Structure 1
């Protein structure tokens, strides 16, 4: 008798947005947005200024609440979950303005960021051996982003680019399953951007990334798939090179088409894509 084939199991997407909508009075910032990301995806959200990109990240992170629609993480509905619960479930983010505790050392910034997620967090203040484990873990994150040599300097002495990398290290200290990055390359030098691309590109496949970024070359280098927002709506969605080459997407970035939002004066034109994504799992 021929044995029956073993049943196959389909894992739920790490992130599932279903018809997500957020209104502020008469302004609809996010309008009926749906998205599915598998574990390890490298996905970018782009669009003109005012398109709703940061609002979308806020909804996923829990700092804002949708008026309509649902958010699921690994198949579990987290639409009404607090930011603390989402962090514990594995959602971490960086911000447009780096969130840094300037009065603390670079190392202590990461120790505090990783504290709630560290397996040896209980009683670590009173037990030097456990506290050393926290510092060692924080030191590894600083090494990842190239700040290990600055571990004992006050965070207030860091440059803008170094603060951005510190903010990224703090997000990584949360042991994320889903990492949300809000314009991480903004204001960086070419050297800083190269380091940023290297750090994000080297993240393990267990971490899914949602990247909001105006530097389209960074998007082309890192993201396997892209969602384009314009006036809160999805204008295009799909593989990075196909989406960036789409005429409507290029028109929206120039700010001359009907899809362009009201705040597009600083929006950048989408350049021709010359590089392939480093990760095709999105």
Structure 2
């Protein structure tokens, strides 16, 4: 089973073992992932709150590639900056978003990372169709390396944000000339109105996704429970099986035949004495 967590790259050294290699920033993620019990994962290449170049030097990238292979950790996902808005009708924000995404896919190629994950963003008045047109055309301006795939993540769907409906995801895939794939976030789907709190609900939702988007376009799952009710558009994550999706729904997602081959990446909170390691172990307990 491919299961891991979103992992920090901060700090100059994370191992207390003096015999351990001096992990640099990016390589910190590998060591931490092993501590969690994970075998795949996700990172930010820089602070997601600012427009910033990843600035990854050749030596750092080589160490990350080598250590990921040595430790058997992968695939990895880079999550793009929260500032990126592909749907925007504003020219300046569009250009910044395209520039940021180009830097992310280039960083992914350098690091040997397979995926770059991005939210569609908000259309802010352009309308759903206009927003989807904007997103697809922005993505089409990217020079995506052959070894990298951009993933469009499902959204909780608040305000004018797109990606909350499967039709939005399919709309971008249909419009774009790029070979894009999808990342489904369980908490986001639930917030957007897809009731996956029961085994029957998971079955119905996966069937709908397959009909609208296609399971062959699904590459990754963000595995998060939800602190809020279905359809509230509120995006706040809970520990696996302890939110309002609950144990039955999360277990059904983890074991669904159409989903179980995907890498599962946790973005669960670290609170109540429960860490990423607790959630990784919980997922493995629920796996049949």
TM-score (ref. length: structure 1): 0.37
Greater C-alpha Rg: 1
TM-score (ref. length: structure 2): 0.37
More helix by share: 2
